[in-house]
Amino acid sequence: MGLSGRKEKILQAVVDGYINSCEPISSAEIKERHLPALSTATIRNELAALEEMGYLVQPHTSAGRIPTAEAYRLYVERLMPKRKLTRSELKTVKRYFNRKITELDDILKSTAKVISEITNLTSVAYAQDINDAVIQNIKIVKLTDTTALVIIVTSLGILKDATLSLGANVDDEYCRTTGEFMTSVLANRSVSEVIKPNHFIKQVKKEYAQVFKTVLKILKSYSHEEMISDIVLEGSAKILEQPEYANLQKAKAMLELLDAKEELVPVLKNNDDMNLSIKIGKDNEIREGMPECAIVTASYSVNGVNIGQAGVIGPIRMDYPKVISVLDYIGKTINMLPEHAGETYAGDESRSEDELRDDEE
């Protein structure tokens, strides 16, 4: 059932006002700032109707109205005004991304930092799950007498090296051929495909079986483990600036959640194909006794490859127009980054391309 134009206007006024002040909005306030033509009594009647419909509540009889989670949902969907970033906000974003960005990790950190700085909220960023990555190349490098390094190049960048022990009778040559063999079998397949049990095991000569198993184990550990290190939080302290967490109990509950970042993964995750995800209130009941919150995240990609999600976590009463415009602009900025991060060591400024070329002077 739709709302009359006037009801919409009034509801928007309440949400807007409450986002700004975090205080119940009275009929007089709405009259002054939005609808001077109407009397407060009329507005009160409409407010009562909106309350009846479940969009507003009163903290107590003699107070103004505050929006329900339902009202916020409607707000972000239809009522919300559009907003552009101010010049100084744009400048802030540029400042962060003009720095040398060398690895995927750096993008995560910069993104989280800039989001937190502009929105004044706690921000969270996390790297795309490795499952969707496509294996491109596998190398095994002998490092010391007893250890070797496994390097797995994927479409999402280099898989963090994992080292393994080795027996005495292994030489560089063996490592090289083993790597080549592994590449020939696994290249151009996704991680999720490769780690299916017993999928490839028949094709593998006995000679390579052991190391093959180890590499699969490594891949599995990367795809299954909660990859804590790939979740970046910034500005946890900012949660305390929000009046809704002024209560120590609630503040603590939120901070404990942020401490246990892994628990955020499921919430961030089920957003894979959506560009923008807004979860309000009970959508994110991550743990018991948790105070209400809202989580807004966006998907980011470079060169068409999805690299992860980033967004904010804060009170339901957050400045959605601002948050959304920030996330949107950052998405565009990341997309324009000069090179795929995670593959290039940028040296300082210039001619890193030449650095390994034979010097022909």
Partner DNA sequence: CATTAGCAATCGACACCTTCGAGTGCTAAT
Partner DNA sequence: ATTAGCACTCGAAGGTGTCGATTGCTAATG
- Judged by the rule CB under 8 A, the positions of this chain that interact with a copy of itself are 102, 105, 109, 136-137, 139-141, 143-144, 147-151, 153, 158, 161-170, 174-175, 178, 206-207, 209-211, 213-214, 217-218, 228-229, 234-237, 240-241, 246, 248, 251-252, 255-256, 258-259, 342-345, 347-348, 352-359, 361
Cα distance between residue 164 and residue 155, in whole Å: 23
Nearer to DNA, 67 or 179 (CB): 67
Write out the binding residues for DNA, residues 163-182 only, by CB under 7 A.
none
CB of 10 to DNA, least distance (A): 11
Q: Cα dist. 108→132, 203, 232, 243, 255 in Å?
A: 18, 38, 7, 28, 21
Q: Please check whether residue 181 is in contact with residue 187, taking contact to mean a CB–CB distance below 8 angstroms.
A: no
Nearer to a copy of itself, 16 or 230 (CB): 230
What φ, ψ does residue 232 adopt, rounded to 5°? -115, 130
What is the CA angle 96-100-101, rounded to 5? 85
- Give SS3 for 356: coil
Instruction: Pick what 308 binds: DNA, a copy of itself, none; C-beta below 5 to 8 Å, kind-dependent.
Output: none
Nearer to a copy of itself, 12 or 236 (CB): 236
CB of 20 to DNA, least distance (A): 14
349's tokens: 């400024």
Q: Max alpha carbon distance in the chain (Å)? A: 91
Of 19-27, 84-92, 259-267, 350-358, the segment contacting DNA by CB under 7 A is 19-27
CB of 79 to a copy of itself, least distance (A): 33
List the one residue from 15, 18, 19, 24 that touches DNA (CB under 7 A): 24
Nearer to a copy of itself, 32 or 207 (CB): 207
DSSP state of 65: B
Binding flag, residue 244, DNA (CB under 7 A): no
Instruction: Pick what 256 binds: a copy of itself, DNA, none; C-beta below 5 to 8 Å, kind-dependent.
Output: a copy of itself
Strand partners, 16: none
As separate numbers, helices (DSSP H) first and strands (DSSP E) second, the chain gives 12, 10
CB of 63 to DNA, least distance (A): 6
Cα distance between residue 289 and residue 285, in whole Å: 9
Write out the binding residues for DNA, residues 29-68 only, by CB under 7 A.
29, 37-42, 44-45, 47-48, 51, 58-65
DSSP state of 298: E
Cα distance between residue 100 and residue 96, in whole Å: 9
CB of 37 to DNA, least distance (A): 6
Q: Please check whether residue 306 is in contact with residue 128, taking contact to mean a CB–CB distance below 8 angstroms.
A: yes
Nearer to DNA, 46 or 234 (CB): 46
CB of 121 to DNA, least distance (A): 25
Residue with tokens 């109407």: 38
Cα distance between residue 192 and residue 212, in whole Å: 16
CB of 12 to DNA, least distance (A): 16
Nearer to a copy of itself, 62 or 169 (CB): 169
Strands 305-314 and 56-57: unpaired
Q: Please check whether residue 315 is in contact with residue 292, taking contact to mean a CB–CB distance below 8 angstroms.
A: yes
CB of 6 to DNA, least distance (A): 7
List residues binding DNA (CB under 7 A). Answer: 24-29, 37-42, 44-45, 47-48, 51, 58-65
